[in-house]
Chain A
Amino acid sequence: GAVVSQHPSRVICKSGTSVKIECRSLDFQATTMFWYRQFPKQSLMLMATSNEGSKATYEQGVEKDKFLINHASLTLSTLTVTSAHPEDSSFYICSATLPGQGGGYTFGSGTRLTVV
């Protein structure tokens, strides 16, 4: 079935550095990908919708200069957390719409970011 591979699964970085998270569709073309963030014991919050070849659409309250999203190809979307701070520590997950089924989504396995 359609699979989205997300890497890394865990990353620890120092404050002030940048971290890139990749989501890759392995056997289908993902024209649209979604990036979510989960705060502890809370729901997944949609951060942005990423469309191949165009700028991402960010949800209200999400800093686009801090969370850079690039969707340069039909199989790869990246989220870069720039100048990371401890409050950016969270679980980030991507998803893509399943092709040709009229519905349904496939999710990456998530990335747990810890900023120290």
Chain B
Amino acid sequence: GEDVEQSLFLSVREGDSSVINCTYTDSSSTYLYWYKQEPGAGLQLLTYIFSNMDMKQDQRLTVLLNKKDKHLSLRIADTQTGDSAIYFCAEVRDYGQNFVFGPGTRLSVLP
């Protein structure tokens, strides 16, 4: 289909790792993004990955990209209560002309 897909909800215990998955559709996407939205706030860019990479690590965040399956994941190590938010993946289509977002995954961190 045409959609970027994500699971809507994820719950993890504090200190565990969180893995948020995303599937996209446009194999020509050059950039894939992860955004975080805290309550009442705008979308904060967490990280992005170029399509010629298969992994990117930034402190507690690890992004894995499987181009063959068009699958993107965001792993948050040692998840904290402050990580509770909605996480969106997004791809840029049409050679940078259009952003396409997933519906967002609501991460709940339990004490």
Contacts and interface: CB of A to CB of B under 8 A. Distances in A.
Given A102-B8, A104-B104, A105-B104, A44 B42 contact: yes
A109 B44 CA distance: 18
Nearest to B1: A1
A105 B101 CA distance: 9
Contact of B103 (A36, A98, A109): A98
Interface string B1-19: 0010000110000000000
A10 B8 contact: no
Contact of A45 (B8, B9, B42, B104): B42
Chain A interface size, as a band, is: 20 to 34
A59 B88 CA distance: 21
Most buried by A among B8, B9, B42: B42
B45 A42 contact: yes
B42 A95 contact: no
Contacts of A106: 101, 103
19 contacts: A1-B3, A10-B97, A36-B42, A43-B35, A43-B43, A44-B35, A46-B42, A59-B42, A91-B99, A93-B99, A101-B103, A103-B103, A103-B106, A105-B88, A105-B101, A107-B99, A109-B98, A109-B99, A110-B98
